[in-house]
């Protein structure tokens, strides 16, 4: 007897094409700047595929956020568990630097192309329901983990306004390289889509900045 697949590979391919195409289009034009016709044409699929797979344009948009969260979230969760398991017997400043480098490695890889960062940046300025998905998936866990380590270094409470602001400031280099990549590419004559070589230079620079910031945190805590 012939086995009937639970999912049609062609249907799954159509769904993924819409997500991949939507990531590029929504990042470039924003949610309101993309029509379902434009999305379907660019993805080379039937326009009826959008309501069939996602219920509408908003469903595609949210599926993009879910895909990003599903890619980054498990890596952040694994890092969080690893750091928490070592808090009682390793210096928080060393863990913070290690954590920062690992986060940079997660973020700055050739697999995470410009469209990811553009999508995330748009959500910061024009938040939608997608931001909640991204926050729950990895943004909040990252902020919480960094905040915990900074609080240990500075001998302050984690959830104070000052510590939350300090955490955001500490994450500045990561955000800056992600959002300012186009300008950096022009200044350095780097390719639009960076290779592993360029990203390694970015990660090394983030680590250098983090060492200086951590030294300042320790000095102020004395």
Terminal C-alpha separation, the chain:
74
Cα 35 to Cα 47: distance, rounded to the nearest angstrom: 10
Cα 221 to Cα 35: distance, rounded to the nearest angstrom: 53
Residue 102's pLDDT is 95
Q: Are 46 and 17 in contact (CB under 8 A)?
A: no
- How large is the average pLDDT for residues 103-132? 84
pLDDT tens-digit profile of 31-47? 999 999 999 999 999 99
Q: Are 196 and 112 in contact (CB under 8 A)?
A: no
Residue 111's pLDDT is 64
Residue 121's pLDDT is 87
Q: Are 178 and 165 in contact (CB under 8 A)?
A: no
DSSP for 67-132, written as a single string: HHHHHHHHHHHHHHHHHHTTTTTS-HHHHHHHHHHHHHHHHSSTTS-HHHHHHHHHHHHS--HHHH
Cα 98 to Cα 80: distance, rounded to the nearest angstrom: 12
Cα 216 to Cα 131: distance, rounded to the nearest angstrom: 32
Residue 2's pLDDT is 38
pLDDT classification of 113: cutoffs 50, 70, 90: low
Q: What contacts 180, CB < 8 A, 6 or more positions away?
A: none
Task: Please state, for a pLDDT cut of 70, what percent of the chain lies above it.
Answer: 93
Considering just the CA atoms, what is the radius of gyration of the chain in Å?
20
Cα 158 to Cα 182: distance, rounded to the nearest angstrom: 34
pLDDT classification of 6: cutoffs 50, 70, 90: very low
pLDDT classification of 142: cutoffs 50, 70, 90: very high
| Two structure tokens written together for 27 | 């990042």
- How large is the average pLDDT for residues 186-207? 88
Looking at the domain 64-221, which fold is it?
Tetracycline Repressor; domain 2 (1.10.357)
Number of other residues whose CB lies within 10 A of the CB of residue 194: 23
Identify the residue with better confidence: 118 or 58: 58
State the chain's mean pLDDT as an integer: 90
Residue ranges covered by each domain of the chain: 64-221
Tell me how far CA of residue 192 lies from CA of 19, 59, 108, 117, in angstroms.
21, 29, 14, 13
Checking if the pLDDT of 84 tops 70, the result is: yes
- C-alpha triplet 37, 39, 42: angle, nearest 5°: 105
């Amino acid at each position: 007897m012939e086995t009937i697949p639970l999912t049609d590979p062609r249907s799954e391919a159509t769904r993924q094409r819409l997500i991949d195409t939507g990531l590029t289009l929504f990042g470039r034009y924003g949610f309101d700047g993309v029509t379902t016709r434009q999305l379907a044409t660019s993805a080379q699929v039937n326009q009826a595929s959008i309501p069939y797979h996602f219920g509408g344009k908003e469903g595609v948009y949210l599926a993009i956020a879910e895909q990003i969260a599903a890619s980054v979230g498990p890596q952040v969760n694994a890092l969080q568990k690893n750091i928490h398991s070592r808090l009682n017997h390793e210096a928080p400043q060393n863990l913070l630097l290690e954590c920062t480098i690992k986060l940079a490695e997660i973020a700055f890889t050739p697999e995470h192309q410009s469209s990811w960062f553009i999508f995330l940046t748009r959500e910061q300025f024009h938040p939608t329901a997608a931001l909640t998905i991204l926050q729950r998936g990895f943004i909040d866990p990252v902020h919480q983990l960094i905040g915990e380590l900074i609080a240990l270094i500075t001998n302050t409470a984690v959830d104070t306004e000052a510590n939350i602001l300090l955490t955001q400031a500490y994450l500045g280099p990561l955000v800056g390289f992600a959002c300012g990549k186009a300008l950096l590419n022009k200044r350095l004559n780097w390719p639009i889509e960076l290779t592993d070589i360029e990203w390694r230079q970015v990660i090394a620079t983030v680590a250098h900045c983090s060492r200086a910031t951590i030294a300042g945190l320790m000095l102020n805590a004395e």
